[in-house]
Amino acid sequence: MHNVQLSASIVDRVTARRGGLHVFPTIMPARTALIVVDLQNGFMAPGAVCELPLAREIVPNVNRLSAATRAAGGMVVFLHQTFRPEDLVSWSTFFDHFSTPGRKQALLEAFTPGSEGHALWPALVVDKDDVLVNKNRFGAFVPGSSNLHEILQQHGIDTLIITGTATNVCCESTARDAMMMNYKVFFVSDGNATFADAEHNATLNAMAHGFCDVIETDEMLGLIKQVSAQRSAA
């Protein structure tokens, strides 16, 4: 698990701006979706083309958050990084300049629908009512990347909880755009993972500064369960 460290200067700055580190004091579970970003074999399996070993360690937290979100009446969405031959053309900047020819082919093979790499990591608990969404860019809200926004709007979702991998690539890209599309966004500090602590913490600091409520799993669970308990008491 990552050693999470928010910069003291960031904490001081955002506290002065808005009165505290946390942004959203409560949530409405029925309007909330847990977004699980790219926890697929192609990122999780030992020796996989995009293996991130620390991503395997966040799975228990993701499962806990998924169970609590479902129980509270919220939505759980699993994003799948997806590449097809046409993406090599429409996103040639990435494939031709940020990958060797060999890696480009390996990415295509790993993340083509139906491949082992495209499938979700088997330790994830997936419910029959959960939503599976393919995306062909790092961020799920990039125009043409996926139909995530349309699905969320159809279900009246205005709050997102971001988990998954990689913290500083697909998770950060999705979270940034979500906030600017007027979603309330929680970014789970011990529910996201990338290659190294420095990269992980750099994203957490950027998210806390102006995009998301950066929160630990146990704190997030507390918010969800608090609202659920109040609803049951009523």
Please give the tally of structural domains in the chain: 1
Q: What is the pTM of this model?
A: 0.96
Nearest residue to 34 via CA among 176, 144, 120, 131:
131
Please indicate, yes or no, if residue 3 is contained in any of the structural domains: no
Q: Is residue 114 part of a domain?
A: yes
Q: For residue range 82-123, what is the model confidence (pLDDT) as tens digits?
A: 999 999 999 999 999 999 999 999 999 999 999 999 999 999
The reported pLDDT for the residue numbered 99 is: 93
Please state, in angstroms and rounded to a whole number, the distance separating the CA atoms of residues 87 and 71: 37
Tokens describing residue 169 = 């690539």
Q: Is residue 147 part of a domain?
A: yes
Range of the domain at 88: 8-233
Specify if 1 maps to a domain.
Answer: no
Query: What tokens does 210 get?
Result: 């102006």
230/234 Cα distance (integer angstroms): 6
| Assigned domain for 2 exists | no
- Give me the tens of pLDDT residue by residue for the chain, a chain 234 residues long: 899 999 999 999 999 999 999 999 999 999 999 999 999 999 999 999 999 999 999 999 999 999 999 999 999 999 999 999 999 999 999 999 999 999 999 999 999 999 999 999 999 999 999 999 999 999 999 999 999 999 999 999 999 999 999 999 999 999 999 999 999 999 999 999 999 999 999 999 999 999 999 999 999 999 998 766 665 555
Contact 112, 85 (CB under 8 A): no
- Would you say residue 74 lies in a domain? yes
pLDDT digits over 81-91, tens only? 999 999 999 99
> Would you call 32 helix, strand, or coil by DSSP?
strand
Backbone angles phi and psi of 44, in degrees to 5? -110, -35
CATH of the domain at 213: 3.40.50.850
